[in-house]
Amino acid sequence: MIPLNRDRTAFGRHETFPLRFGWLTKGHQAWSKNPDVFEDDEATVTLGVGKNMVSAIKYWMLATQIVNHDKTVLRPAELGNKIFDEAGWDPYLEDDATIWLLHWLLASNAADATAIFWFFNRFHKPEFTGEELLNALKIFVAENLTSRASEATLKHDVTLLMRMYEPATLSKSVPLEESLDSPFVLLGLMRSLPETKRHESKPEYRPHLPVAVFAYAVAEMFAHRGEPNLPVEHLMRSDGALAAPGSVFRLTEECLIAKLEEMIAWQPGSLELRENAGIHELYRLADLVPLEILQRHYDDKH
């Protein structure tokens, strides 16, 4: 979870390639064996992709926080190792929970995936056109960030966002395999409205969101805020700097409360909902270790 910093942002570093199934697995396992793989002359052979895709794989590893970085040097991240090692939790994304988790990691990374963070945490129109999305992103950049990005770069980010989250409308010009490229399409967080040429991304009741992933996001919020209680409003809507589960997972208020109650039942003795002066708050009664929450989920699956 990386909060918004007006001086640390990133646009257009994906080489216009959406994250594809297999890329994180392929990239992480190759990098684990050879930390210089992305700079290696044989990188295209090792990874089996074109030169620009090599850079895109490296970028998506950073954006999803499965590796850390110190300037241009990649550093191991414990979560990335636990998921993508050859004997890891879910290196081939066979568990939908891993895709939901990667979505949270991406949409909560304001530094390396600024446009995606902005869309899920600061853009709240349920229906929009691509042009409306681009104009809103341009205004956000101009009013809130020190760095600047060209209109062409921002347009690439908007186009990529929709390609990555929205199921393609199959046609002769869109091969089936391209419509299934991105794992995030499976989450149902965005759809096209062909009859109006608009797009939709709105809060919904999402019973299929795994409680462990939701709990992981909540635990990260507690860790970053460093307080024993969180107003439910902060979990529902981003304050603009930190991601919020309600915003990132596009939850209705009823669904958020249901997920909180499910999480409390799943981790008895750890959390409690209380009302103080008309304000609903979530209290932490015991330590919440994000990785231990995920460990329990994957242990239960095996």
pLDDT tens-digit profile of 95-109? 999 999 999 999 999
- Residue 222, pLDDT score: 96
Confidence of residue 244 (pLDDT cuts 50, 70, 90): very high
Residue ending a domain, among 31, 57, 92, is: 92
Statement: residue 302 has pLDDT above 80: no
Tokens of 94: 């066979």
- Asked whether the CA dihedral 101, 107, 113, 119 is positive or negative, the reply is positive
Average pLDDT (243-271) is 97
72 and 121 inside one domain: no
- Residue 175, pLDDT score: 47
> Does 240 reside within a domain?
yes
Task: Answer with the residue of higher pLDDT: 14 or 179.
Answer: 14
* CATH of residue 238: 1.10.10.10
Total number of domains in the chain: 3
134 and 47 inside one domain: no
Average pLDDT (29-54) is 93
Q: Where are the alpha helices (DSSP H) in 173-231?
A: 176-179, 211-225
Residue ending a domain, among 38, 57, 92, is: 92
Sequence-distant contacts of 161-170: CB under 8 A, at least 24 apart: 161/115, 161/116, 161/119, 161/133, 162/130, 162/133, 162/190, 162/199, 163/18, 164/18, 164/19, 165/189, 165/190, 165/201, 166/190, 166/191, 166/192, 166/199, 167/191, 167/192, 169/194
- Residue 69, pLDDT score: 87
Statement: residue 247 has pLDDT above 70: yes
Average pLDDT (71-99) is 94
101 and 190 inside one domain: yes
- Judge contact between 214 and 290, C-beta under 8 A: no
Summarize pLDDT for 19-28 with one digit per residue, the tens. Answer: 999 999 999 9
SS3 state at 203? coil
Summarize pLDDT for 167-188 with one digit per residue, the tens. Answer: 976 544 454 455 557 999 999 9
> Does 252 reside within a domain?
yes
- Residue 170, pLDDT score: 54
Statement: residue 58 has pLDDT above 70: yes
> Does 8 reside within a domain?
no
Tokens of 126: 């349920």
189 and 119 inside one domain: yes
Residue ending a domain, among 202, 224, 255, is: 202
- Residue 172, pLDDT score: 46
> Does 7 reside within a domain?
no
175 and 241 inside one domain: no
> Does 10 reside within a domain?
no
127 and 171 inside one domain: yes
220 and 165 inside one domain: no
- Residue 293, pLDDT score: 96
Q: Name the pTM for this structure.
A: 0.95
Statement: residue 138 has pLDDT above 70: yes
> Does 9 reside within a domain?
no
- Judge contact between 180 and 165, C-beta under 8 A: no
- Residue 169, pLDDT score: 65
> Does 14 reside within a domain?
no
Query: Distance (Å, rounded) from C-alpha 8 to C-alpha 221?
Result: 20
- Residue 127, pLDDT score: 96
SS3 state at 76? strand
Tokens of 190: 């965005």
132 and 76 inside one domain: no
231 and 296 inside one domain: yes
**CA-to-CA dists, residue 144 to 7, 151, 173, 195, 241, angstroms:** 10, 16, 38, 34, 11
pLDDT, mean over the chain = 93
45 and 131 inside one domain: no
Domain carrying residue 216: 211-301
> Does 274 reside within a domain?
yes
- Which percentage of the chain shows pLDDT scores above 90? 88
Rounded to 5°, the CA angle 52-57-60 comes to: 125
109 and 176 inside one domain: yes
Summarize pLDDT for 194-210 with one digit per residue, the tens. Answer: 888 899 999 999 999 99
Query: Distance (Å, rounded) from C-alpha 74 to C-alpha 110?
Result: 18
